[in-house]
Amino acid sequence: MLTVVKGIRTNAIDKFGNIYIQMSTDHFLDWLQNELKERSWNQSHFARMTGLTTAGISKLLSGNRGAGPDACKAIARALDLSEEFVFRKAGLLAPQSGYDVTYEEWRAILNELNEENRQELLHIARLRLERQRDQQFSERFKSLPEEAQAEAWALIEELIERKGWKFKD
């Protein structure tokens, strides 16, 4: 299903006859230039990494030429990102409702990590989530009237004493 979106610049058809709608490239160009800057890659190096011509890369980065499907695939390989991620950045795939491109980047990174490093990141993520939930609860608790907070603390202290629980030092 093709969706017409305001800001369409060009249509692209790959070698298999698949039709892609390309939306505004400004965001894509900013993103791509930032990726090259972060990697300290110049246009010639990027051309070598993608297998595209230096002239083609120059036209792409100047906005004189859009990124078609084949260029996006080459860019994805060079930057070690998924094709879907680059296609969405380039506007060749419509954004998904509720889709956050960082999920795609996380997926690509996790695919590259070994099991030990994935487990370490999972452990860190669980700790961060626990901290976030604690902060959210604390904020909700502080929004209670002072009388309710005092009563809740009294109930908590009573429960701790009745259960014989001890605080860690």
Which tens digits make up the pLDDT trace of 5-16?
334 344 455 555
User: What digits encode the pLDDT tens for the residues 111-143?
Assistant: 889 999 999 999 999 999 999 999 999 999 999
d(CA 123, CA 120): 5
Give the pair of three-digit tokens for residue 162. Answer: 């009745």
d(CA 74, CA 80): 10
Contacts 24+ apart (CB under 8 A), 77-81: 77/50, 78/46, 78/49, 78/50, 79/35, 79/39, 80/108, 80/112, 81/105, 81/108
**CA 16 and chain centroid, separation:** 29
Give pTM, 2 decimals.
Answer: 0.52
Specify the fold of 10-95.
Answer: 434 Repressor (Amino-terminal Domain) (1.10.260)
